[in-house]
Amino acid sequence: MAILYNSNLQRATFFLMGFQGLEGLHGWISIPFCFIYLTVILGNLTILHVIRTDATLHEPMYYFLGMLALTDLGLCLSTQPTVLGIFWFDAREIGIPACFTQLFFIHTLSLVESSVLLSMSIDRYVAICNPLRYSTVLIPVHIVKMGLRSVLRSALLILPLPFPLKRFQYCCSHVLAHAYCLHLEIMKLACSGITVNHIYGLFVVACIVGMDSLLMFLSYAAILRTVLSFTSSLNTCISHIYAVLLFYIPMIGLSLVHRFGEHLPRVVHLLMSYVYLLVPPLMNPIVYSIKTKEIRHCIIKKFQFIKSLRCFWKD
């Protein structure tokens, strides 16, 4: 396929592929994807509802968990229209403005998730290593500021990425292998020099992901010296460690596959991209529901309340 390119950039079109060669099975393939998207939405909305309605969960740790759930919902909704559009309607064309907008939200929300995970590790560090200052350091105003800084830092770092892409000439293949737009893949399609974009992309990854992961490692190194005798605190830390691993391992794997895995089968690239964007939002509510006793008890209470209402109306 070729790009429909005019002098007017607004009319340029990319083509999204998804699972190429399996078009006849798109109806069946869409079933697990629909289940995953539905689980992500219901799971994260449940976490948000429980935190909002239960006064015992109005604490910094759960506010950060609510931020993580919001970020996961945003990541899910930023890819859902194009992924399901291909499966259901074979809608492969996407305009450059829409593509770059999707790219901006996917990458911004990925960096926001990294920042939120760092904030959660800071919360656990203060709660466990300096508990006497916990109520004075992590007050609601500071939590809101941390959330806003996470969003602003991520958005400002990603904002420059689409603008050089607009100036590039796309004279080779203009078919994107995935069902959504990613910066690294679009950059490879350009005939223009991509050195600046490549260097800046590496800078963003090093600045956000590198620094955040290093700070999280240092915070948990300090926590583990203090926390091993406190089972309840250790459980909350383990939940967060699972969330960190669920986020960073697919991210690092996708980055390595894109940069050094040109010889790998195309299905490997596709699966890694879907794992990166769908597994953390899918698994985070499950992990926190299972490993965090307070969240688990509140969800059980909600279901018991709904069950009692049904019994009342039946009687």
Position 50 scores a pLDDT of 93
Tell me, what's the pLDDT at 177? 82
- Which pLDDT belongs to residue 63? 95
Q: Please report the pLDDT score of residue 158 as a whole number.
A: 93
Give a yes or no: residue 313 inside a domain.
no
pLDDT along the chain (315 residues), means of 10: 42 78 82 94 94 90 94 94 90 89 94 93 88 87 93 93 79 79 84 77 82 87 70 65 86 77 77 87 87 81 69 58
Cα 281 to Cα 247: distance, rounded to the nearest angstrom? 9
* Closest-CA residue to 288 (of 130, 37, 51, 111): 51
Report the distance separating Cα 4 and Cα 154, nearest Å.
32
Residue 53 located in a structural domain: yes
* Distance, CA of 43 to CA of 286 (rounded, Å): 7
CA distances from 115 to 68, 152, 207 (A): 10, 11, 11
CB 96 within 8 A of CB 12: yes
Give the structural domain span for 157.
15-296
Residue pair 194/148 in contact (Cβ under 8 Å)? The answer is no
**Residue 282 tokens, joined:** 């899918």
Residue 3 in any domain: the answer is no
pLDDT at residue 91, rounded to an integer: 87
Backbone φ and ψ of 33, nearest 5°: -65, -40
Would you say residue 122 lies in a domain?
A: yes
Evaluate whether residue 314 is within a structural domain.
Answer: no
Query: Which pTM was predicted?
Result: 0.85
Question: If 0-12 CB within 10 Å is exposed, 13-18 middle and 19+ buried, where does residue 183 land?
Answer: buried
Residue for token digits 């800071």? 122
pLDDT of residue 116: 94
Q: How far apart are CA 223 and CA 227, in angstroms?
A: 6
Asked if the structure places residue 174 within a domain, the reply is yes
- Note whether 253 and 277 are within 8 A (CB): no
| Residue 109, domain member (yes or no) | yes
Largest CA distance in the chain: 72
Q: How many folded domains does the chain comprise?
A: 1
pLDDT score for 227: 63
- Domain containing 185 — which CATH number? 1.20.1070.10
For 152, list phi and psi in degrees, rounded to 5.
-65, -45
Convert the pLDDT of each residue in 137-155 to its tens digit: 899 999 999 999 999 999 9
Phi and psi at residue 30, to the nearest 5°: -65, -25
Per-position DSSP letters for the chain, written without gaps between them:
------SSGGG-EEEE-SSTT-GGGHHHHHHHHHHHHHHHHHHHHHHHHHHHH-GGG-SHHHHHHHHHHHHHHHHHHHHHHHHHHHHHH---EEEHHHHHHHHHHHHHHHHHHHHHHHHHHHHHHHHHH-GGGHHHHS-HHHHHHHHHHHHHHHHHHHTTTHHHHHHS---S--EESSSS--HHHHHHT-SS--HHHHHHHHHHIIIIIIHHHHHHHHHHHHHHHHHTT-HHHHHHHHHHHHHHHHHHHHHHHHHHHHHH-TTS-HHHHHHHHHHHHHHHHHHHHHHHHHH-HHHHHHHHHHHHHHHHHHHHHH-
* Residue at 5 is within a domain: no
